[in-house]
């Protein structure tokens, strides 16, 4: 996935990201660092965004800039190809085959479903991340559930993280007086990009 494609998945354009970086890199580095960490934008992506403004800029140069400014530049990570990250959606595993740690910074959830509960038909959606909070839509009304700090989790070299840990173990759950289905998509937001798995649960 290119930098432009990744940003587009967050509804952000290259130009918008570029302006944000250029307007803040001299006076508000902490905001840049925290924003990039929150949205899984790594050092190589930042270098790509600024390629026309700083000739020869590399992801390692960005990491060094953050480190020299008092932050751990390597925390943001680098592109998966350079870090040799492998991902098997078939097995629901994110495996680190590179020499650098992968840092999971947040977990996103996109859930939609429909149910019949005590004879009443209900449809619902929930979208957001653990840190940013969730928007829940049911009965045609939106409610916002505040998020909380997600403690970063490290996947070291040759270790795997099972996305299915956040998905139901069974495709069917017996819920009294209810029947329906729920589609669940879980996304790991990491220093090397985002990794997604999904399932449907019936009840």
**pLDDT attached to residue 89:** 47
CB 122 within 8 A of CB 56: no
Among candidate residues 160, 182, 162, the one with its CA nearest the CA of residue 172: 182
Distance CA 152, CA 134 (A): 19
Which tokens is 27 given? Answer: 């006076």
**pLDDT attached to residue 21:** 95
Instruction: List CB contacts of 23: < 8 A, sequence separation 6 or more.
Output: none
Q: Tens-of-pLDDT digits for all 203 residues of the chain?
A: 688 888 888 889 999 999 999 999 988 999 999 999 888 898 889 999 999 998 888 888 898 899 889 988 878 877 765 555 555 545 667 777 766 778 888 888 888 988 887 888 888 899 999 988 999 998 778 899 999 988 888 888 778 888 766 666 566 677 787 788 888 888 888 877 777 777 787 87
**pLDDT attached to residue 1:** 67
The number of C-alpha atoms within 13 Å of 31 and in the hemisphere containing its C-beta is 10
Domain residue limits, the chain: 3-78, 85-202
CB 114 within 8 A of CB 122: yes
């Amino acid at each position: 996935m290119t930098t432009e494609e990744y940003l587009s998945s967050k509804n952000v354009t290259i130009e918008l990201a570029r302006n944000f970086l250029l307007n803040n890199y001299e006076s508000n580095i902490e905001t840049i660092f925290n924003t990039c960490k929150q949205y899984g934008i790594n050092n190589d992506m930042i270098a790509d965004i600024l390629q026309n403004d700083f000739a020869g800029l590399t992801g390692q140069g960005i990491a060094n800039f953050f480190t020299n400014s008092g932050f751990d530049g390597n925390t943001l990570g680098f592109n998966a190809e350079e870090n040799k990250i492998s991902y098997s959606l078939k097995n629901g595993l994110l495996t680190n085959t590179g020499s650098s740690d992968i840092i999971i910074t947040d977990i996103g959830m996109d859930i939609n479903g429909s149910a019949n509960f005590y004879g009443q038909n209900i449809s619902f959606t929930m979208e957001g991340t653990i840190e940013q909070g969730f928007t829940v839509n049911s009965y045609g009304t939106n409610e916002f559930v505040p998020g909380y700090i997600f403690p970063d989790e490290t996947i070291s070299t040759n270790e795997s993280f099972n996305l299915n840990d956040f998905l139901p173990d069974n495709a069917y759950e017996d819920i009294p007086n209810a029947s329906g289905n729920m589609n669940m998509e879980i996304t790991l937001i990491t220093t090397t990009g985002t990794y997604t798995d999904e399932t449907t649960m019936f009840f």
